[in-house]
Chain A
Amino acid sequence: MKTATLRLAAAAALSFGAITAGAAEFTSIDQTASRVTFQYAQMGVGMDGSFARFSARLKFDPAHPEAGHATLEIPLASIDTGSTEGNEEVKAKNWFNTAVHPVARFESTSFKALGDNHYEVAGKLTIKGQARAVTAPFTFEPQGKTATVKGSFELKRNDFAIGEGEWADTTIVADEIRINFQLRALQTAP
Protein backbone atom coordinates (compact mmCIF):
# COMPACT_ATOMS: atom_id res chain seq x y z
CA MET A 1 0.00 0.00 0.00
CA LYS A 2 2.76 2.39 0.96
CA THR A 3 4.70 1.51 -2.17
CA ALA A 4 1.62 2.21 -4.29
CA THR A 5 1.25 5.67 -2.73
CA LEU A 6 4.91 6.37 -3.36
CA ARG A 7 4.53 5.23 -6.94
CA LEU A 8 1.54 7.47 -7.39
CA ALA A 9 3.45 10.39 -5.88
CA ALA A 10 6.39 9.64 -8.15
CA ALA A 11 4.11 9.46 -11.18
CA ALA A 12 2.47 12.74 -10.16
CA ALA A 13 5.85 14.35 -9.73
CA LEU A 14 6.95 13.06 -13.13
CA SER A 15 3.85 14.27 -14.92
CA PHE A 16 4.18 17.61 -13.16
CA GLY A 17 7.74 17.69 -14.41
CA ALA A 18 6.49 16.92 -17.91
CA ILE A 19 4.00 19.78 -17.71
CA THR A 20 6.75 22.11 -16.54
CA ALA A 21 8.91 20.99 -19.45
CA GLY A 22 5.86 21.41 -21.66
CA ALA A 23 5.77 25.03 -20.65
CA ALA A 24 9.09 25.40 -22.48
CA GLU A 25 7.29 27.24 -25.18
CA PHE A 26 9.09 29.32 -27.77
CA THR A 27 7.27 32.58 -28.21
CA SER A 28 9.35 34.83 -30.44
CA ILE A 29 11.85 35.00 -33.26
CA ASP A 30 15.16 36.83 -32.98
CA GLN A 31 15.17 38.56 -36.34
CA THR A 32 18.78 39.66 -36.17
CA ALA A 33 19.79 36.00 -36.13
CA SER A 34 17.20 34.81 -38.65
CA ARG A 35 17.22 34.67 -42.42
CA VAL A 36 14.67 34.01 -45.14
CA THR A 37 16.35 33.24 -48.45
CA PHE A 38 15.28 31.78 -51.77
CA GLN A 39 16.75 30.08 -54.78
CA TYR A 40 15.59 30.04 -58.36
CA ALA A 41 16.95 29.42 -61.82
CA GLN A 42 17.19 31.97 -64.60
CA MET A 43 18.23 30.69 -68.06
CA GLY A 44 19.35 27.53 -66.28
CA VAL A 45 21.60 29.50 -63.93
CA GLY A 46 21.04 29.15 -60.18
CA MET A 47 20.38 32.47 -58.40
CA ASP A 48 20.33 33.24 -54.69
CA GLY A 49 18.02 35.81 -53.20
CA SER A 50 16.97 36.95 -49.76
CA PHE A 51 14.66 39.25 -47.85
CA ALA A 52 16.27 41.95 -45.75
CA ARG A 53 13.21 42.34 -43.54
CA PHE A 54 10.39 40.17 -42.23
CA SER A 55 8.41 39.81 -39.08
CA ALA A 56 7.39 36.58 -37.42
CA ARG A 57 5.13 35.57 -34.61
CA LEU A 58 5.55 32.21 -32.98
CA LYS A 59 4.03 29.99 -30.36
CA PHE A 60 5.68 26.61 -30.51
CA ASP A 61 6.45 23.95 -27.95
CA PRO A 62 8.37 21.03 -29.44
CA ALA A 63 6.69 18.76 -26.88
CA HIS A 64 3.24 19.86 -28.10
CA PRO A 65 3.69 20.79 -31.75
CA GLU A 66 -0.02 20.37 -32.49
CA ALA A 67 -0.71 23.45 -30.34
CA GLY A 68 1.79 25.54 -32.25
CA HIS A 69 1.03 28.58 -34.29
CA ALA A 70 3.18 30.78 -36.50
CA THR A 71 2.82 33.70 -38.86
CA LEU A 72 5.46 35.21 -41.09
CA GLU A 73 5.11 38.50 -42.92
CA ILE A 74 7.57 39.70 -45.52
CA PRO A 75 7.56 43.24 -46.94
CA LEU A 76 8.34 42.37 -50.55
CA ALA A 77 10.12 45.64 -51.24
CA SER A 78 12.93 44.33 -49.03
CA ILE A 79 13.75 41.66 -51.60
CA ASP A 80 17.21 41.05 -52.95
CA THR A 81 16.78 38.94 -56.09
CA GLY A 82 20.51 38.50 -56.58
CA SER A 83 20.84 41.40 -59.03
CA THR A 84 20.26 45.15 -58.76
CA GLU A 85 18.27 45.32 -61.98
CA GLY A 86 16.11 42.41 -60.82
CA ASN A 87 15.37 44.13 -57.49
CA GLU A 88 13.67 47.03 -59.26
CA GLU A 89 11.91 44.84 -61.80
CA VAL A 90 10.19 42.52 -59.31
CA LYS A 91 8.38 45.39 -57.59
CA ALA A 92 6.54 46.08 -60.84
CA LYS A 93 3.00 45.08 -61.71
CA ASN A 94 3.97 41.93 -63.61
CA TRP A 95 5.86 40.58 -60.62
CA PHE A 96 4.86 41.34 -57.02
CA ASN A 97 3.01 44.58 -57.73
CA THR A 98 4.24 45.84 -54.36
CA ALA A 99 2.25 49.07 -54.67
CA VAL A 100 -0.97 47.02 -54.30
CA HIS A 101 0.33 43.91 -52.52
CA PRO A 102 3.26 45.01 -50.37
CA VAL A 103 3.38 41.98 -48.08
CA ALA A 104 3.66 38.21 -48.46
CA ARG A 105 2.07 36.38 -45.58
CA PHE A 106 2.22 32.85 -44.22
CA GLU A 107 -0.06 31.65 -41.46
CA SER A 108 0.14 28.14 -40.07
CA THR A 109 -2.89 25.90 -39.82
CA SER A 110 -1.23 22.88 -38.23
CA PHE A 111 2.04 21.49 -36.96
CA LYS A 112 2.97 17.86 -36.65
CA ALA A 113 5.96 15.98 -35.27
CA LEU A 114 7.88 13.73 -37.64
CA GLY A 115 10.21 12.48 -34.90
CA ASP A 116 13.81 13.23 -33.98
CA ASN A 117 13.63 17.07 -34.05
CA HIS A 118 11.82 16.95 -37.39
CA TYR A 119 8.44 18.62 -37.78
CA GLU A 120 6.14 19.76 -40.51
CA VAL A 121 4.09 22.91 -40.70
CA ALA A 122 1.10 23.33 -42.97
CA GLY A 123 -0.45 26.67 -43.65
CA LYS A 124 -1.72 29.26 -46.03
CA LEU A 125 0.66 31.35 -48.09
CA THR A 126 -0.72 34.57 -49.54
CA ILE A 127 1.22 36.50 -52.16
CA LYS A 128 -0.21 39.08 -54.55
CA GLY A 129 -3.72 38.30 -53.39
CA GLN A 130 -3.39 34.61 -54.22
CA ALA A 131 -3.64 32.14 -51.35
CA ARG A 132 -2.22 28.63 -51.59
CA ALA A 133 -1.82 25.80 -49.09
CA VAL A 134 1.82 24.94 -48.47
CA THR A 135 3.62 22.50 -46.21
CA ALA A 136 7.20 22.81 -45.08
CA PRO A 137 9.28 20.26 -43.21
CA PHE A 138 11.69 21.76 -40.71
CA THR A 139 14.04 20.86 -37.91
CA PHE A 140 13.75 22.42 -34.48
CA GLU A 141 16.82 22.14 -32.32
CA PRO A 142 16.54 23.65 -28.84
CA GLN A 143 19.71 24.83 -27.12
CA GLY A 144 18.57 25.94 -23.70
CA LYS A 145 16.20 28.87 -24.05
CA THR A 146 16.86 29.35 -27.76
CA ALA A 147 16.32 27.05 -30.68
CA THR A 148 17.48 26.84 -34.28
CA VAL A 149 14.71 26.34 -36.80
CA LYS A 150 15.66 25.31 -40.33
CA GLY A 151 13.37 24.37 -43.15
CA SER A 152 12.39 24.94 -46.73
CA PHE A 153 9.63 24.44 -49.25
CA GLU A 154 9.06 25.00 -52.91
CA LEU A 155 6.42 27.18 -54.49
CA LYS A 156 5.48 27.67 -58.11
CA ARG A 157 5.62 31.36 -58.95
CA ASN A 158 2.91 31.03 -61.60
CA ASP A 159 0.47 29.84 -58.89
CA PHE A 160 0.79 33.34 -57.44
CA ALA A 161 1.02 35.22 -60.75
CA ILE A 162 4.59 36.26 -59.85
CA GLY A 163 5.96 37.18 -63.26
CA GLU A 164 3.02 37.71 -65.61
CA GLY A 165 2.85 38.34 -69.32
CA GLU A 166 6.07 37.59 -71.16
CA TRP A 167 7.70 36.68 -67.82
CA ALA A 168 5.32 33.75 -67.30
CA ASP A 169 7.58 31.76 -69.63
CA THR A 170 9.25 29.27 -67.30
CA THR A 171 12.09 28.53 -69.74
CA ILE A 172 13.51 31.97 -68.84
CA VAL A 173 12.78 32.14 -65.11
CA ALA A 174 11.94 28.71 -63.72
CA ASP A 175 8.51 28.20 -62.14
CA GLU A 176 9.94 26.58 -59.01
CA ILE A 177 11.18 28.89 -56.28
CA ARG A 178 12.72 27.31 -53.21
CA ILE A 179 12.16 29.24 -50.00
CA ASN A 180 14.56 28.58 -47.13
CA PHE A 181 14.14 29.78 -43.61
CA GLN A 182 16.67 29.69 -40.83
CA LEU A 183 15.27 31.21 -37.67
CA ARG A 184 16.35 31.65 -34.11
CA ALA A 185 13.42 31.02 -31.78
CA LEU A 186 13.40 32.34 -28.23
CA GLN A 187 11.44 31.41 -25.15
CA THR A 188 11.26 35.06 -24.20
CA ALA A 189 10.59 38.25 -26.05
CA PRO A 190 13.73 39.29 -27.96
Chain B
Amino acid sequence: MTKTYTRTAISLHWLMALGLIGAFSLGVYMHELPLSPFKLKLYSWHKWTGVSLFMLVLVRLTWRLSHPAPPLPASMPAVLRVLAHATHVALYVLMLAIPLTGWLMSSAKGFQTVWFGVVPLPDLLSRNAELGDLLQSVHEVLNLSMAALVVAHIGAALKHHFIDRDDILRRMLPGNRSNSA
Protein backbone atom coordinates (compact mmCIF):
# COMPACT_ATOMS: atom_id res chain seq x y z
CA MET B 1 0.00 0.00 0.00
CA THR B 2 1.33 3.46 -0.86
CA LYS B 3 2.53 5.47 2.09
CA THR B 4 2.46 8.85 0.45
CA TYR B 5 0.45 11.09 -1.82
CA THR B 6 1.18 11.28 -5.55
CA ARG B 7 3.03 14.33 -6.87
CA THR B 8 -0.18 15.34 -8.66
CA ALA B 9 -2.17 15.20 -5.42
CA ILE B 10 0.50 17.24 -3.62
CA SER B 11 0.59 19.87 -6.40
CA LEU B 12 -3.20 20.12 -6.43
CA HIS B 13 -3.30 20.42 -2.64
CA TRP B 14 -0.86 23.34 -2.49
CA LEU B 15 -2.24 25.04 -5.57
CA MET B 16 -5.70 24.96 -3.98
CA ALA B 17 -4.28 26.16 -0.66
CA LEU B 18 -2.70 29.18 -2.37
CA GLY B 19 -5.82 29.89 -4.41
CA LEU B 20 -8.17 29.57 -1.45
CA ILE B 21 -6.10 31.85 0.77
CA GLY B 22 -5.84 34.36 -2.08
CA ALA B 23 -9.55 34.35 -2.95
CA PHE B 24 -10.54 34.43 0.74
CA SER B 25 -8.29 37.40 1.55
CA LEU B 26 -9.44 39.24 -1.56
CA GLY B 27 -13.07 38.61 -0.61
CA VAL B 28 -12.61 39.91 2.93
CA TYR B 29 -10.71 42.98 1.71
CA MET B 30 -12.82 43.99 -1.28
CA HIS B 31 -16.33 43.86 0.06
CA GLU B 32 -15.96 46.83 2.44
CA LEU B 33 -14.35 49.07 -0.19
CA PRO B 34 -16.31 52.05 -1.53
CA LEU B 35 -17.32 51.60 -5.16
CA SER B 36 -14.42 52.40 -7.49
CA PRO B 37 -12.89 51.04 -10.70
CA PHE B 38 -10.36 49.25 -8.47
CA LYS B 39 -13.15 47.55 -6.54
CA LEU B 40 -14.78 46.37 -9.79
CA LYS B 41 -11.43 44.92 -10.87
CA LEU B 42 -10.98 43.11 -7.55
CA TYR B 43 -14.48 41.64 -7.78
CA SER B 44 -13.76 40.35 -11.27
CA TRP B 45 -10.44 38.84 -10.16
CA HIS B 46 -12.12 37.25 -7.14
CA LYS B 47 -14.83 35.73 -9.35
CA TRP B 48 -12.32 34.48 -11.93
CA THR B 49 -10.28 32.87 -9.13
CA GLY B 50 -13.44 31.29 -7.71
CA VAL B 51 -14.39 29.72 -11.04
CA SER B 52 -10.81 28.47 -11.50
CA LEU B 53 -10.77 26.95 -8.00
CA PHE B 54 -14.10 25.24 -8.63
CA MET B 55 -12.68 23.57 -11.73
CA LEU B 56 -9.49 22.71 -9.89
CA VAL B 57 -11.43 21.02 -7.09
CA LEU B 58 -13.29 18.92 -9.68
CA VAL B 59 -9.93 17.80 -11.09
CA ARG B 60 -8.72 17.17 -7.56
CA LEU B 61 -11.78 15.12 -6.61
CA THR B 62 -11.43 13.03 -9.76
CA TRP B 63 -7.78 12.40 -8.94
CA ARG B 64 -8.54 11.62 -5.32
CA LEU B 65 -11.25 9.10 -6.22
CA SER B 66 -8.95 7.32 -8.67
CA HIS B 67 -5.85 7.55 -6.41
CA PRO B 68 -6.81 6.72 -2.82
CA ALA B 69 -5.08 8.66 -0.07
CA PRO B 70 -2.41 6.81 1.92
CA PRO B 71 -3.75 5.30 5.16
CA LEU B 72 -3.59 7.13 8.44
CA PRO B 73 -1.02 5.83 10.98
CA ALA B 74 -2.18 2.73 12.86
CA SER B 75 -1.46 4.52 16.14
CA MET B 76 -4.23 7.05 15.55
CA PRO B 77 -7.31 6.66 17.81
CA ALA B 78 -10.57 5.81 16.03
CA VAL B 79 -12.21 9.08 17.10
CA LEU B 80 -9.46 11.14 15.51
CA ARG B 81 -9.62 9.07 12.33
CA VAL B 82 -13.33 9.80 12.02
CA LEU B 83 -12.67 13.45 12.77
CA ALA B 84 -9.91 13.63 10.15
CA HIS B 85 -12.12 12.06 7.48
CA ALA B 86 -15.07 14.27 8.40
CA THR B 87 -12.89 17.39 8.15
CA HIS B 88 -11.60 16.34 4.74
CA VAL B 89 -15.10 15.61 3.45
CA ALA B 90 -16.36 18.93 4.82
CA LEU B 91 -13.48 20.80 3.16
CA TYR B 92 -14.29 19.21 -0.19
CA VAL B 93 -17.99 20.05 0.19
CA LEU B 94 -17.10 23.65 1.04
CA MET B 95 -14.63 23.94 -1.83
CA LEU B 96 -17.52 23.04 -4.12
CA ALA B 97 -20.28 24.99 -2.35
CA ILE B 98 -18.41 28.27 -1.86
CA PRO B 99 -17.77 29.06 -5.53
CA LEU B 100 -21.29 27.87 -6.36
CA THR B 101 -22.89 30.26 -3.86
CA GLY B 102 -20.62 33.05 -5.10
CA TRP B 103 -21.75 32.48 -8.67
CA LEU B 104 -25.45 32.35 -7.70
CA MET B 105 -25.08 35.43 -5.49
CA SER B 106 -23.48 37.31 -8.35
CA SER B 107 -26.36 36.44 -10.69
CA ALA B 108 -28.96 37.42 -8.07
CA LYS B 109 -27.19 40.75 -7.61
CA GLY B 110 -27.37 41.37 -11.35
CA PHE B 111 -23.78 40.64 -12.34
CA GLN B 112 -23.11 37.82 -14.72
CA THR B 113 -19.87 35.91 -14.19
CA VAL B 114 -17.63 35.98 -17.26
CA TRP B 115 -14.52 33.89 -16.60
CA PHE B 116 -11.44 36.00 -17.35
CA GLY B 117 -13.80 38.35 -19.20
CA VAL B 118 -14.04 35.71 -21.94
CA VAL B 119 -16.16 32.69 -20.97
CA PRO B 120 -19.66 33.67 -19.83
CA LEU B 121 -21.30 31.46 -17.22
CA PRO B 122 -25.07 31.25 -17.45
CA ASP B 123 -27.13 33.16 -14.89
CA LEU B 124 -29.15 30.46 -13.14
CA LEU B 125 -30.96 33.10 -11.09
CA SER B 126 -32.45 36.33 -12.31
CA ARG B 127 -31.85 39.59 -10.49
CA ASN B 128 -33.37 39.65 -7.02
CA ALA B 129 -31.86 41.91 -4.37
CA GLU B 130 -33.22 39.95 -1.37
CA LEU B 131 -32.05 36.62 -2.71
CA GLY B 132 -28.69 38.25 -3.50
CA ASP B 133 -28.31 39.39 0.12
CA LEU B 134 -29.33 35.97 1.41
CA LEU B 135 -26.80 34.23 -0.82
CA GLN B 136 -24.16 36.70 0.30
CA SER B 137 -24.79 35.67 3.92
CA VAL B 138 -24.60 32.01 2.95
CA HIS B 139 -21.34 32.66 1.04
CA GLU B 140 -19.91 34.41 4.12
CA VAL B 141 -20.97 31.75 6.60
CA LEU B 142 -19.57 28.99 4.40
CA ASN B 143 -16.30 30.89 4.09
CA LEU B 144 -15.99 31.41 7.82
CA SER B 145 -16.71 27.71 8.34
CA MET B 146 -14.00 26.84 5.86
CA ALA B 147 -11.56 29.22 7.51
CA ALA B 148 -12.22 27.49 10.86
CA LEU B 149 -11.75 24.05 9.29
CA VAL B 150 -8.52 25.14 7.56
CA VAL B 151 -7.16 26.34 10.90
CA ALA B 152 -8.10 22.97 12.43
CA HIS B 153 -6.54 21.19 9.43
CA ILE B 154 -3.25 23.09 9.80
CA GLY B 155 -3.30 22.63 13.57
CA ALA B 156 -3.82 18.89 13.18
CA ALA B 157 -0.99 18.62 10.62
CA LEU B 158 1.38 20.46 12.97
CA LYS B 159 0.29 18.32 15.91
CA HIS B 160 1.05 15.18 13.88
CA HIS B 161 4.45 16.54 12.92
CA PHE B 162 5.66 18.02 16.18
CA ILE B 163 3.81 16.05 18.86
CA ASP B 164 2.96 12.66 17.35
CA ARG B 165 6.11 12.83 15.19
CA ASP B 166 4.52 10.81 12.38
CA ASP B 167 4.77 11.38 8.62
CA ILE B 168 1.31 12.93 8.11
CA LEU B 169 2.64 16.40 7.30
CA ARG B 170 5.77 15.21 5.49
CA ARG B 171 3.88 13.05 3.05
CA MET B 172 2.01 16.12 1.75
CA LEU B 173 5.17 18.21 1.37
CA PRO B 174 6.66 18.76 -2.08
CA GLY B 175 10.11 17.31 -2.72
CA ASN B 176 9.52 14.29 -0.50
CA ARG B 177 11.73 11.55 -1.99
CA SER B 178 9.32 8.73 -1.48
CA ASN B 179 6.65 10.50 -3.57
CA SER B 180 5.60 8.57 -6.63
CA ALA B 181 4.13 10.06 -9.81
Q: Is the CB of B35 within 8 A of A44?
A: no
Residues of B within 8 A of A172 (CB): 37, 40-41
Among B18-26, B69-77, B111-119, B143-151, the stretch that binds chain A is B111-119
| Min CB gap A165→B, angstroms | 9
Instruction: Verify B117–A83 contact, CB threshold 8 A.
Output: no
Main secondary structure of the interface of A (DSSP, over half): mixed
A82 touches B127 (CB 8 A): yes
Taking a contact as CB atoms closer than 8 A, the residue among B35, B36, B118, B127 that contacts A86 in the complex is B35
Q: How many residues of A contact B (CB 8 A)?
A: 18
- The interface size bin for chain B is 10 to 19
Our pick among B36, B43, B113, B127 for the contact of A166 (Cβ within 8 Å) is: B36
Q: Are B117 and A43 in contact (CB under 8 A)?
A: yes
Fill in one digit per residue for B39-79: 1 if any A CB lies within 8 Å of its CB, else 0. 01101100000000000000000000000000000000000
Within 8 A of B (CB), among A145-190: 166-167, 169, 172-173
Q: Which of B35, B37, B38, B112 contacts A45 (CB under 8 A)?
A: B112
What number of residue pairs across chains A and B have CB atoms under 8 A from each other?
Answer: 43
Does A47 reach chain B (CB closer than 8 Å)?
yes
Distance in angstroms from A158 CB to nearest chain B CB is 14
Interface of B is mostly: loop
Judged by a CB distance under 8 angstroms, whether B109 is at the interface is: yes
Residue among B37, B38, B112, B127 with most chain A CB within 10 A: B37
Q: Say if the beta carbon of A85 comes within 8 Å of chain B.
A: yes
Q: Does B129 contact A (CB under 8 A)?
A: yes
- Rounded to whole Å, the gap between the CB of A95 and the closest CB of chain B is 11
Assess whether B110 is interfacial by the CB under 8 Å rule: yes
The answer to whether A84 has its CB under 8 Å from any CB of chain B is yes
In contact, B110 and A45 (Cβ under 8 angstroms): no
Nearest opposing residue in chain A for B117, CB measure: A44
Residues of chain A within 8 A (CB-CB) of B37 are 166-167, 169, 172-173
A89 in the interface (beta carbon within 8 A): yes
- Judged by a CB distance under 8 angstroms, whether A46 is at the interface is yes
CB atoms of B111 and A83 under 8 A apart: yes
Contacts of B112 in A (CB 8 A): 45-46
Chain A residues closer than 8 Å to B129, beta-carbon distance: 84
Q: Which of A43, A84, A169, A173 contacts B44 (CB 8 A)?
A: A43
Whether B117 contacts A89 by the Cβ 8 Å rule is no
Q: Which residue of B lies closest to A49 (CB)?
A: B110
Which residue of chain B is the closest to A81 with respect to CB atoms? B110
- Whether A89 lies near B41 (C-beta < 8 A) is no
Q: Which of A45, A48, A84, A167 is close to B114, meaning CB atoms less than 8 Å apart?
A: A45
Complex interface residues of chain B between 108 and 162 (CB less than 8 A to chain A): 109-114, 117-118, 127, 129
Chain A 33-45 interface mask (CB, 8 Å, partner B; 1/0): 0000000001111
Assess whether B40 is in contact with A47, with CB atoms less than 8 Å apart. Answer: no
| CB within 8 Å of B: which A107-155 residues | none
Q: CA A82 – CA B110 in complex, angstroms?
A: 6
Q: Which 8 A-B pairs have the closest CB atoms?
A: A44-B117, A172-B37, A43-B44, A82-B110, A45-B114, A83-B110, A89-B35, A45-B112
Chain A residues proximal to chain B, CB less than 8 Å: 42-48, 82-86, 89, 166-167, 169, 172-173
Q: List 14 A-B contacts (CB under 8 A).
A: A44-B114, A44-B117, A45-B111, A45-B114, A47-B110, A47-B111, A82-B127, A84-B109, A85-B35, A86-B35, A166-B36, A166-B37, A166-B38, A173-B37
